[in-house]
Structure 1
Amino acid sequence: MRTEDLLAAIATGLWRWDNASGTVTLDAEAARLLGLPAEPTTLAESAVRSRFHPVDWNEINGVVNLAVAEGTLAEARLRIMDEEGRLLRTVRSRSKPVVDGDNYTLFGTLQEVAEQQPGSAARTPVTGDWRRSREAFLLDAGRALAEARSTAEVLRVAASLSMPGFSPDGLAVFGAGGGRIRIIGHHGHNAGDMGPFSDMPLDMDYPAAEVVRTGRAIYLPSPEEYRRRYPASWSLAQRFERRSWAFLPLIVAGRTMGAWMAGFAHPVGFTPDERSVLTTVARMLAQALARAGIAESERELSQGLQRAMMPTLGPEIPGMKVAARYVPTGGGLQVGGDWYDMIPLPNGRIALVIGDVQGHDVHAAGLMGQLRIALRAYASEGHRPDAVLSRASRFLHGITGTYAPDDHISPRFATCLYIEADPATGILDIARAGHPDPAVRMADGTVLVRPTAGGLPLGIDPDTDYPTTRLVLEPGETIMICTDGLIETGGHDLDTGWARLRAILEGHAGDNLEKLADTLVAAVHGPSSHYTTGPVGERREDDIALLLLCREALDDSLEPGTLPSVGDRGRRTALTVAQAEPERIAGVRLQVRDLLHDWTGSEQVDSAVLMVSEMVTNVLVHTDGDALLVAEVTGRPRRLRVEVADASDELPHRRRPGEMASSGRGLMLMEMLADAWGVDPRGEGKSIWFELYEVEGPDTGAEAAPGAGPAA
């Protein structure tokens, strides 16, 4: 008897589906089952498709694609419809795909099966609540795996997946490399259970090893099937007392990176729908592990770059304490162009440097490393701050201005602030290249932004000059320098950002310098962990570099490395206004107001600002030199003393300006507003000064201040 006759006797037909030509060949029994004349025929795919229920036709595409991908049988239950769209019968299809390049041919059978009764607990693979649950499960699993940021998180998500109707009780993820497979994570096993599987050769007779070698899934629906196919490793798996296993490849970009094992405590038949769910989860798991691996590699590279590029602070500076922080932007490679440095100088002083190379990418980080090394070299040669920045600007212009147009790299610039500090005297010589000004927290807690002379950012003009500003850091004072990421993050501009930082500095009187550094960064980004030298938060808007330098107070009762508390200590500020910078008079007025931020009488503050503005303006108008201003608040009740010195020997004299005169009222204002004032000749030049005495109690202004009158 022929095979076709034997199959027809048991109501089983044969078919052949050629995907390349789009034709389906049926024997007589297969044609009859499809509602066609019972004779062999070859039809177009569309003619056969019209005989299937539309829902079943859509489902069989996924089943066939899964079988092609796995090299397994394609099994489906199909409803056959007549020409009027009525259900004719239900058949079961089993076919084997033979792949030829991008095309395949299905060889299989069709067999009539009994109709499913309404209300039956069993459901077809393509209909019912199971299908809806499967779709919801896959959506949730995809979302959870997409949000996982590390390998550990991916494995936790995989362990928590509850598949509809056939959840595994044990999972293991194997990674492949170097001719071996290793477990990188597992769930549902006791400590030590996975020891024999932790490191195996790739040619071992074990399902996961075969999956990695072939890139095809393996389904073992029973212990007998496991023992038959893998007798060498059955003894290792037997003790877990599982009933079914699925081993699926983890494939990314066509490369098998490992395998995923799902073990079941109950028998699983691995129907096409169940295999479809497992295959989809394996694909999502592979993508999530690949993303997590890339992210972890980037973090490791970033941390390595940070460790290589960020210096350690030391040695200790006698009489001073230093704290520093670097916080990366958090996007991609968490490294950018911000940096800080501390450089011992040949003259026994110390240089503090902070800067920001334009950009937040690896190119910016590379330029930052080169620029930092160049600055260290120039500083170690003994150059003054202005010369160090001038040389650094020429260096950066040289290495960024020589790219060819097809390099797709635009020239970069960098801002920088360089401080040469004398630990013995507290003298700070500052040169600034387009960088934010420093801020000084005084011994009594008052915080002033100290305007300093500056030039263009490094790398823009190789011939730029960088004037030097000299400040004195008094005992108990702290100077803060930072990049703009600390100031402007969170939608702040330069002014509101400084106001936020000022409040933090003023509110941390007496705290340790390291804690103050942490507080400044945490206030910008919130609670965090993993700093380069302390905690790091979530994704940053910009890199942050921060340096704090504290000159220790003379009070022996204070512990080393702590800030003095707010009390009756004096406060002092000094700054120079050059002839070429008359616009800095506005900054002088602001400095005086900040110095007197808690002064009782607002009218006295206005008077002081007016007199200082007049004094500095007179120097710039009537002399050829610069104006040096020193303002100091001391005592209790407090006294403000302001001196403005210049190099001219010509003493001021009283004039009687007319109503329309634009000048000549300086001495008249001081007579009217100051409690005391005078002019002191010096060896070179002179000093004009005034004093105001704070009135305790209500805001009554200056009219009740004692001692008013000229003292020239």
Structure 2
Amino acid sequence: MRTEDILAAIETGLWRWDTADGTVTIDAQAARLLGLPEAGTYREAAVRACYHQADWNEVRSVVGLAVAENTLAESRLRIVDEQGTVVRVVRTRSRPHVPEGKTVEQAVLLGTLQEVAEPIPGTAVQTPVTGDWRRSREAFLLDAGRALAEARSTEEVLRVAGSLSMPGFSPDGLAVFGIDGDRLTLVGHHGHTVGEEEPFVDMPLQTEYPAAEVARTGQAIYLPTPDEYAHRFPMFWPLARTFGRSSWAFLPLIVSGRTMGAWMAGFSEPVGFSPDERAVLTTVARMLAQALARAGAAETERELSLGLQRAMMPSLGKSPPGITVAARYIPTGGGLQVGGDWYDMIPLPNGRVALIIGDVQGHDVRAAGLMGQLRIALRAYASEGHRPDAVLARASRFLAGLTDGYEHTNGGDDDEATAPRFATCLYAEVDPADGSLDIARAGHPDPVVISNDGTAVIRQTAGGMPLGIETDADYPTTQVVLEPGETIMLCTDGLIETGGHDLATGWERLRPVMETPGADPESLAEALVETVHGPTSHYTTGPLAERHEDDIALVLLRRDTPMTLSKAPPRRTAVAIAQAEPERISVARQLLRELLHDWADPEQVDSAVLMLSEMATNVLVHTDGNALMVAEVTGEHGERRLRLEVSDSSDELPHKRRPGEMASSGRGLVLMEMLADNWGVDPRGEGKSIWFELYESAEPAELAAPSIPFEQI
């Protein structure tokens, strides 16, 4: 015997509901039970019209829970005719199936349909308790709780509440009221046209209106009929009657035992408010109150964050003539969008400008507060006309006093919240006229100089301890001169060390981005930020990032070019070597190697570094003055010229000697004669300059540099 014959004998129909394309396929028995003309495939709306409106909402809830839990869905439904009269009650059972490659929302349901012989209490105008009430209620509350928990704003909470389909009954309008002092205010509404809410926007709490009474007493009010509404609240009934509703529920919104407002749910269909229905409404009101409280706290935090951010956000103002400045500030994601990093540009009394970048230890509100105080102090010291070293020395004493006072006030705890803080800082006094920067550094990363052809070189500068550690720290000053078209980059360590990188690997990651010939400061700043955090990072002109590891401050300053540069602009670097700092020779060697990083012949680079070491060492050994190294590369790639000069204040000219095989000195001029393409000694008004030139060639040099360790020269 066929399955179809068995199902026909027991008057059971089959149906298939494809939720992805919104179609329902039924057999002949199912068509008869639903009151449809024949078997076939129907649109979802055509089948929905066969059910009582309230029952369809229950079907959606029960089916949603079954799909989520992969269990059997069962419910009882009333079938109505074209006039809305109930003609029969059927029971449906179905099992969801998710086709391969589809999502849960695209499930296919296969089920049966069978007429129920026993009568079901209620009529077409009364709220039924159809199907498995407990199961449908659990499904609804699960969905409602999840949706309300995910809402992040009051507007979103109201939108979610307005879309809830309660099991067996659903409101077609709602309003949320809040308490503001002794007044009841309308927070938001759903299901009303613009202007209809005007009489309910603001009223005294003592008004004889259901929501006001609920807010005063904390007790729910249920009005199942228009007559009861008119009897209990005659003053507001003429206004409520215009909405054409049949039943109303007013429930208190209570959080932590405090009534924060009231929720009104209006129903076009009459609702009897049975105990089960009241339980659902009470639970929804509780979840709605918690969602509104969370949304309100989040909105308050966002307003506080934005206000604090606007007040403390670094700003540059207008760049003075001769230079172009671009900057980015990215606070740590999550919580308040402020941190301990900052930058600043300050006009100075001598016509120059001060460029400051710094990083206060920590990423919390205290770090932001200390940053704000330190920033104000630095602006004050700079505006008084102090030199960079004096500004940082005063700022260090200032920060040490602040953190010591905080430690004593809080009992000297050792945890991060109360421990003394320090700050790194780089202060540069910029002369836009000649492109010079006098730099003092307090534990901060060195700047990077980017030449016209895109070569990026870490410019090592003298420095002292971070601010706030010592009250009498010294901060030596280093001068850096930018040629027209060159750019200097200042940043905090968050730009370098994000993503598990250390200082070395972080620079290597950023170097290809920085070495972009002709990049303007704005586009270069954007590219650097995107390399570290992607295009959704938060900075002064962009959206918020969700989360990242450390604050970032970034400043790029370019010395403007008065005229169009040639295709191969000169590349230049310089460093001073004091008598008391012989270790600066290694700094000069490193700068020279970075300047020649793309030189065609590596052996020529070794030769240049070797000659530089010999020339600088001779100055420190044979004179009482300091040495100044200036190196410049000109010409087209593959045919460039390196000219390197080491000058000093001594008038004594070097003499060429022939050292023996075991001699430890006297090799300088001999090496230059062997390795340089051209060299010489030029007397000056005060002192002299020893120089050499190397001409780039794509062919390796035939003469290799002598194998002498640089450290021994």
TM-score (norm 1): 0.74
- 1:378 to 2:381 alignment: yes
2:229 to 210, 226, 233: 226
**2:128/2:168 contact within 8 Å kept:** no
Which deviates more from structure 2 when the two are superposed, residues 301-310 or residues 421-430?
301-310
Change in Cα spacing, 1:261 to 1:279, as seen in structure 2 (3 Å) is: same
Unaligned segments of structure 2, at least 5 residues: 1-115, 705-713
Change (3 A) 1:219 1:426: same
2:498 paired with 1:489: yes
- In the alignment, is residue 410 of structure 1 matched against residue 419 of structure 2? yes
After superposition, residues 517-536 of structure 1 pair within 5 angstroms as: 517-528=525-536, 531-536=539-544
Q: Residue 130 of structure 2 contacts residue 168 of structure 2 at CA under 8 Å; is this kept in 1?
A: no
Q: Describe how 1:439-588 pairs up with structure 2 within 5 A.
A: 439-507=448-516, 509-511=518-520, 513-528=521-536, 531-555=539-563, 567-579=567-579, 581-588=581-588
Aligned residue type for 2:249: A
Paired letter, 2:503: L
Distance in 2 of aligned mates of 1:529 and 1:362: 20
**Is 1:199 matched up with 2:199?**
no
Question: Which of 287, 295, 300 is residue 298 of structure 2 equivalent to?
Answer: 295
State the one-letter code of the partner of 2:640: R
Q: CA deviation at 1:336?
A: 2.0
Letter in 2 for 1:426: G
In the alignment, residue 544 of structure 2 is paired with which amino acid? V
From the superposition, tell whether residues 282 and 669 of structure 1 become closer, same or farther in structure 2 (CA, over 3 Å): farther
8 Å CA contact 2:330, 2:551 repeated in 1: yes
Considering only aligned residues, what root-mean-square deviation do their CA atoms show, in Å? 3.2
Q: CA deviation at 1:367?
A: 1.6
Distance 1:582 1:247 in 2: 84
Write the deviation string for residues 340-368 of structure 1: whole angstroms up to 9, x where unpaired.
Answer: 21111111111111111112222222222
CA distance in 1, matches of 2:134, 2:601: 79
Q: 1:207 to 1:504 in 2, by over 3 A?
A: farther
**In structure 1, what is the Cα distance between the partners aligned to 2:643 and 2:433?**
26
Q: Post-superposition shift, 1:675?
A: 2.1
- Residue pair 1:430, 1:470 contacting (<8 A) in 2 also: yes
* Identical residues among aligned pairs (%): 74
Aligned to 1:166: 169
1:119-152 deviations in Å (ceiling 9; x for gaps): 8777999996443343343333333333333333
Contact 1:249 1:258 in 2 (8 A): yes
Q: Specify the code of the residue in structure 1 equivalent to 2:557.
A: L
Are the counterparts in 2 of residues 125 and 131 from structure 1 also a CA contact under 8 Å?
no
Structure 1 residues 585 and 153 mapped into 2: Cα distance closer, same or farther (>3 Å)?
farther
CA contact under 8 A between 1:573 and 1:632: conserved in structure 2? Answer: yes
Q: C-alpha distance in 2, partners of 1:615/1:418?
A: 32
SS at match of 1:225: helix
1:632 aligns with 2:640: no
CA distance 1:554–1:218, change in 2 (3 Å): same
Deviation at 1:584, TM superposition (A): 4.9
Does 1:427 pair with 2:436? yes
Q: 1:668-703: CA deviations, max 9, x gaps?
A: 44344332233334444443332221224xxx3234
Instruction: Tell me how far 1:658 sits from its aligned partner.
Output: 6.3
Q: Distance in 2 between matches of 1:160 and 1:520?
A: 44
Distance in 2 between residues matched to 1:242 and 1:529, nearest whole Å: 49
The 1:632–1:165 alpha-carbon spacing in structure 2 relative to 1, beyond 3 Å, is: farther
Task: Describe how 1:71-470 pairs up with structure 2 within 5 A.
Answer: 129-310=132-313, 312-402=315-405, 403-404=407-408, 406=411, 408=413, 409-470=418-479
Aligned counterparts of 1:288 and 1:664: Cα–Cα separation in 2: 83
Are the equivalent residues in 1 in contact too, given 2:346–2:379 (CA < 8 A)?
yes
Q: Please report how far the alpha carbon of residue 320 of structure 1 lies from its aligned counterpart in structure 2 after TM superposition.
A: 1.5
Preserved contact between residue 643 and residue 689 of structure 1 (Cα < 8 Å) = yes
In the alignment, what sits opposite 1:72?
A: none
Q: What are the Cα deviations for residues 586-612 of structure 1, in whole angstroms up to 9, with x where unaligned?
A: 544443333223333333334334443
- Cα 1:237–1:611 shift into 2, 3 Å: farther
Partners of 1:171 and 1:367 lie apart in 2 by: 47
- Contact kept in structure 1, 2:530 and 2:537, CA below 8 Å: no
Give the Cα separation in 2 of the matches to 1:309 and 1:472: 31
Query: What do residues 457-483 of structure 1 show as CA deviations (whole Å, max 9, x unaligned)?
Result: 101001110000101122112222122
**Cα distance, 1:657 vs. partner?**
5.8
Q: Tell me how far 1:620 sits from its aligned partner.
A: 5.0
Q: Do the aligned residues in 1 keep the contact of 2:305 with 2:338 (CA within 8 Å)?
A: yes
User: Given the superposition, is the C-alpha separation of residues 494 and 125 from structure 1 closer, same or farther in structure 2, using an over 3 Å criterion?
Assistant: farther
Letter in 2 for 1:441: I
CA contact (8 A) 1:525 1:538 kept: no
Number of residue-to-residue matches in the alignment: 577
CA distance in 1, matches of 2:236, 2:651: 101
The range that moved more, 209-218 or 370-379, is 209-218
Amino acid at match of 1:468: T
User: For the structure 1 residues 265 and 459, does the alpha-carbon distance in structure 2 shift closer, same or farther, using more than 3 Å as the test?
Assistant: same
Superposition pairs of residues 38-49 of structure 1, within 5 angstroms: none
Aligned residue for 1:14?
none
Residue identity opposite 1:271 in structure 2: S
Deviation at 1:655, TM superposition (A): 5.6
Letter in 2 for 1:326: Y
Q: How far is 1:369 from its partner? A: 1.8
Deviation string, structure 1 residues 22-81 (Cα, Å, up to 9, x no partner): xxxxxxxxxxxxxxxxxxxxxxxxxxxxxxxxxxxxxxxxxxxxxxxxxxxxxxxxxxxx
Report what 2:647 is aligned to.
Answer: 645
* Counterpart-to-counterpart distance in 1, 2:660 and 2:169: 100
**More divergent stretch after superposition (393-402 vs 249-258):** 249-258
Q: CA deviation at 1:393?
A: 0.6
Structure 2 contact 340–368 (Cα < 8 Å) conserved: yes
Unaligned runs of 5+ in 1: 1-116, 557-563, 706-712
Larger mean Cα displacement after TM superposition, 194-203 or 463-472: 194-203
Tell me the residue number matched to 1:702. Answer: 701
Task: Tell me the distance in 2 between the aligned counterparts of 1:142 and 1:643.
Answer: 75
C-alpha displacement at 1:375, in angstroms? 1.1
Partner of 1:96: none
Residues 326 and 533 in structure 1, CA contact (< 8 A), matched pair in contact too: no
Cα distance in 2 for partners of 1:591, 1:127 equals: 83
SS in 1 for 2:357: strand
